[in-house]
């Protein structure tokens, strides 16, 4: 099968690395890819939201399956675009249609979906400029901290957690007046939940499903979970505090009703549901849905999957996902993300990266890298994810950490405490 992966991060390199091991993969393309994906297949210079060019490329190269890494093409309707075209409707796209992608694309949609299907989540209200006074009143009559969420996609920056009433009201006003553009023309204010977060990934064809290994992501830039939010600074899988009892609760109360909801709403959903969860006194609540895999969670989840990834994806299109047995490595996987100094704010690019060739015992997943004149250079905030296995999370993280020390580039930064809080 000829396969196209859309995206350019560590997540897409992890998919490419795994797909390259599949006997079913004929040609592998990654658009636009990065300095690492080009060792697994062919990088193609296409934007992930340029559907017309992706269509033309797919027809010309006989692409039979497209794996969509990031959310944007899904929220913009790539599945619908391909479905509605005689020449491309047969192409298998791993990802939901526009309607399904709303689970990530609109917080208000997701909250309303959870309410309809009785899925445990923080209580909430939504506000627009029309009822801004109700929003002010809501804050005045509730205790903080206040969780303010821009309804639409805001590059991971649209959630504000604020202690003080006054400041929360000011932020609500700013958001509704366009702080995040169109994305914050509706704002969801929800109850603050205190607990520890983890992520569950479900592969579904809209009826049947399989749950993939659980993971924990470290979102903040600083040690001890301090400082600004990032795309993710590291991850581990499995997660010690998520035991069988917790996973049973997650499956019964959250996964099953979510899949039921997807079916009842008639979503064309053949792909990943990434459920961001919080454990509050041993009860799971949904923080958010994403319609794709996580990054860097993919860099620990996919290496633990023993199955052939193409066969697994194919089972979404031939109705066999329920019968498919998924096998996981029992060891713990960890990943540490090396980032450019300054990230998640401004940072420099095009720094020479050295030391990769000497690494043993880790899988190197490139994120923001590129190769120019045979030289590996930084090309983004998150640069490289270093994945390792161990008998437990400490053993795995120690391997990721010693690899992190050995790679060099100017203003390299990484968190040394990934996995050590557990």
Q: Which of the choices ligand GLY, ligand AMP, none does residue 287 contact, using the CB cut-off of 5 to 8 A by kind?
A: ligand AMP
- The stretch among 75-83, 185-193, 232-240, 390-398 that binds ligand AMP (CB under 6 A) is 185-193
> Which member of 139, 203, 287, 302 binds ligand AMP (CB under 6 A)?
287
Q: Which does 122 bind (CB under 5 to 8 A by kind): ligand AMP, ligand GLY, none?
A: ligand AMP
Phi, psi for 145 (deg, rounded to 5): -65, 150
Task: Tell me how far, at minimum, the Cβ of 16 lies from ligand GLY, in Å.
Answer: 17
Q: Which is nearer to ligand GLY, 31 or 301 (CB)?
A: 301
Residue indicated by tokens 């560590």? 10
Which contacts (CB < 8 Å, 24+ apart) does range 285-288 have? 285/120, 285/121, 285/122, 285/193, 285/195, 286/114, 286/119, 286/120, 286/121, 286/254, 287/121, 287/122, 287/193, 287/197, 288/104, 288/107, 288/110
Residue 332: closest CA among 412, 399, 401: 399
Of 54, 67, 141, 154, give the one whose Cα is nearest residue 106.
154
205 binds, among ligand GLY, ligand AMP, none (CB under 5 to 8 A by kind): none
Partner interacting with residue 295 (select from ligand GLY, ligand AMP, none; CB below 5-8 Å by kind) = ligand GLY
**Alpha-carbon span 203 to 337, nearest angstrom:** 25
Report the candidate in 22, 112, 121, 128 with the shortest Cα–Cα distance to residue 67. Answer: 22
**Is the distance from CB of 128 to CB of 176 less than 8 angstroms?**
yes
Question: Is residue 122 close enough to count as binding ligand AMP by CB under 6 A?
Answer: yes
DSSP β-ladder status, 65-68 and 369-372:
unpaired
Question: What minimum distance in Å lies between the beta carbon of 103 and ligand AMP?
Answer: 12
The footprint of ligand AMP on residues 240-279 (CB under 6 A) is 276
Binder among 97, 288, 295, 299 for ligand AMP (CB under 6 A): 288
Residues in the site for ligand GLY, rule: CB under 6 A?
217, 231-232, 290, 294-295, 297
Residue 279 or residue 290: which is nearer to ligand GLY going by CB?
290
Query: Which is nearer to ligand GLY, 233 or 312 (by Cβ)?
Result: 233
Name which position in 117, 192, 317, 328 contacts ligand AMP (CB under 6 A).
192
405 by Cβ neighbours in 10 Å (0-12 / 13-18 / 19+) ranks as exposed
Task: Give whichever of 193 and 359 is closer to ligand AMP, judged by the CB atom.
Answer: 193
Would you call 79 helix, strand, or coil by DSSP?
helix
Give the β-pairing of 65-68 and 92-96: parallel
159 binds, among ligand AMP, ligand GLY, none (CB under 5 to 8 A by kind): ligand AMP
Q: By rule CB under 6 A, what count of residues binds ligand AMP? A: 14
| Integer Cα distance of 94 and 224 in angstroms | 36
Give me the 123-162 binding string for ligand AMP, x by CB under 6 A, dash otherwise.
------------------------x-x---------x-x-
**Closer to ligand AMP by Cβ: residue 173 or 191:** 191
């Amino acid at each position: 099968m000829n396969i196209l992966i859309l995206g350019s991060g560590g997540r897409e390199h992890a998919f490419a690395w795994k797909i390259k091991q599949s006997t079913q993969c004929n040609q592998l393309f990654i658009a636009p890819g990065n300095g690492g994906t080009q060792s697994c297949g062919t990088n193609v210079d296409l934007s992930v939201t340029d559907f017309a060019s992706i269509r033309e490329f797919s027809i010309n190269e006989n692409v039979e399956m497209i794996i969509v890494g990031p959310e944007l093409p899904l929220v913009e309707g790539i599945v619908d675009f391909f479905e509605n075209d005689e020449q491309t409707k047969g192409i298998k796209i791993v990802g939901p249609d526009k309607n399904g992608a709303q689970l990530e694309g609109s917080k208000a949609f997701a909250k309303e979906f959870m309410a309809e299907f009785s899925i445990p989540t923080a209580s909430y209200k939504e506000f627009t400029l029309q009822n801004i006074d109700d929003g002010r009143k809501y804050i005045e009559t509730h205790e903080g901290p206040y969780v303010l969420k821009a309804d639409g996609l805001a590059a991971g920056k649209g959630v504000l957690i604020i202690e003080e009433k006054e400041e929360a009201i000011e932020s609500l006003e700013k958001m509704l007046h366009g702080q995040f553009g169109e994305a914050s023309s509706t704002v969801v204010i929800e109850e603050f939940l205190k607990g520890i977060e983890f992520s569950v990934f479900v592969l579904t064809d809209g009826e049947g499903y399989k749950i993939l290994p659980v993971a924990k992501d470290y979102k903040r830039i600083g040690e001890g979970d301090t400082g600004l939010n990032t795309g993710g600074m590291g991850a581990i899988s499995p997660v010690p505090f998520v035991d069988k009892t917790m996973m049973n609760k997650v499956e019964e109360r959250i996964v099953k009703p979510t899949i039921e909801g997807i079916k009842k709403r008639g979503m064309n959903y053949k792909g990943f549901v990434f459920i961001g969860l919080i454990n509050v006194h041993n009860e799971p609540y949904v923080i958010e849905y994403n319609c794709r895999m996580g990054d860097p969670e993919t860099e620990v989840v996919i290496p633990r999957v023993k199955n052939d990834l193409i066969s697994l994806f194919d089972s979404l299109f031939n109705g066999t996902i329920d019968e498919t047995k998924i096998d996981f490595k029992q060891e713990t996987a960890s990943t540490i993300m090396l980032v450019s100094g300054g990230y998640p704010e401004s940072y420099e690019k095009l720094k020479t990266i050295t030391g990769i060739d000497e690494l043993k015992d880790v899988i190197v997943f490139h994120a923001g890298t590129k190769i120019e004149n045979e030289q590996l250079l930084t090309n983004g905030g998150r640069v490289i994810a270093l994945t390792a296995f161990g008998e437990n999370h400490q053993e795995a993280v120690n391997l990721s950490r010693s690899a992190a020390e050995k790679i060099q580039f100017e203003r390299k930064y990484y968190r040394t405490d990934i996995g050590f809080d557990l």
